[in-house]
Amino acid sequence: MQPAGFGSMPPISLIDLFERVLSRAKDLPALSQKINNKWDTYTFQQYYDQSTGFAAACIRENLVKGAAVNIIAFNCREWNIAFMGSIFAGLLPVGVYTTNSPEACQYVAENSDCSLVVVENNEQLEKYLAQLQNLPKLKKIVVIKDSPN
């Protein structure tokens, strides 16, 4: 702790920070994404609602507090929603490189005690399905885009 400046500020949680921003900027743009060549924007309120909805779904699945949620997707708002939703649910979000091999995905999932994986599409889903027998703690896989074959 410092006597002045940023180092003197008391720490706050990411949830507290999110709610503080929400109280001041709920109708302002938070996440924008181009869909079909048109920008689609979520406000901070929509971002918060989607994140807490994701958290509620995780809680309904009885995921153990502190368990990891692996997120493998390119930069998209769903990545951010899964990240914040995991924190709201008391889980640990773990970003996974989209270029990882199935073996690398399995390594990250196993070593982070992953219970849930959020994948962007079928290509990323296939990596986890190929390693499913090596992931006994994995309870669910959520696909953001595409439908499982």
pTM higher than the cut 0.85: yes
> Does 148 have pLDDT greater than 70?
no
Q: What is the mean pLDDT of residues 54-61?
A: 96
Instruction: Please tell me the predicted confidence (pLDDT) of residue 10.
Output: 87
User: How do residues 25-35 score in pLDDT, each as one tens digit?
Assistant: 999 999 999 98
CB of 72 closer than 8 Å to CB of 104: no
What domains, with CATH codes, occur in the chain? 12-143 (3.40.50.980)
CB of 68 closer than 8 Å to CB of 111: no
Specify the range with the lowest mean pLDDT, choosing from 3-7, 60-64, 103-107. Answer: 3-7
Q: 88-105 burial, b for 16+ CB within 10 Å, e for fewer?
A: bbebbbbebebebebeeb
> Does 68 have pLDDT greater than 70?
yes
